[in-house]
Structure formats: C-alpha cells, structure tokens
Amino acid sequence: MSDSETNDAKLTAAWQILGKANEKGKFAVPVGEFMPADVRQAFEEGMEKDLYRLIDVEQLDAARGGLVRVFKLTGAGQGFRKVLVAAGFA
C-alpha cells in the first residue's frame, strides 16, 4: 500500500468516527461495540490527539438497552472534522 493509500485509509477511518458528531459536536459509541482495527486505531489516535473527550456514559432507553459513551469534539476535533468535510469525506 502506498503512502497516499495509507493516508486515505487513515482519513477514512477518522471520518467514520468524527462523522458521527452532531451539530453540537457530540457523538455516542455503544459500550462493547465492535470496531474494525483501522477504526479502533483512529479512535485511539483521536483520543491521544485530544480531538474529543468523554463527557458522559448514558443508558439507552429500556427498549434498546445497553450503555453508550458520549464524546464531544474539542476545538481541534471540530477543525479536523471541517478539513475532512472540505476534502470530500462527508
């Protein structure tokens, strides 16, 4: 895989996370949700780069059950999301 293809794959994986954010910059990840290895890596890198922060753990309604971790984009995360949108990842 070329450097360009590797970079595109990383950006695609990052978009799979940052693209979940709503207009307030919040997104939820179900506890125990399976993530492909590339998305898991992008998720961990995003945490390390402080692109988003865990703000809450909430229980879904009784019909759906389970817990979700709620994250909020930081200023850096919002900026990176805008770069991805401008690059056509939206």
Please, which pLDDT band fits residue 6 given cuts at 50, 70 and 90?
confident
CATH architecture observed for domain 3-86: Orthogonal Bundle (1.10)
The yes-or-no verdict on residue 84 having pLDDT over 70 is yes
The answer to whether residues 72 and 52 touch, using CB atoms and an 8 Å cutoff, is: yes
Residues β-bridged to residue 30: 68
Read off the pLDDT of residues 26-83 as tens digits, 9 standing for 90 and up: 999 988 888 999 999 999 999 999 999 999 999 887 677 789 999 999 999 999 999 9
Helix (H, G, I), strand (E, B) or coil at 59: strand
The answer to whether residues 36 and 29 touch, using CB atoms and an 8 Å cutoff, is: no
Residues β-bridged to residue 73: 52
User: What pTM was estimated for this model as a whole?
Assistant: 0.86
* All structural domains of the chain with their residue ranges: 3-86
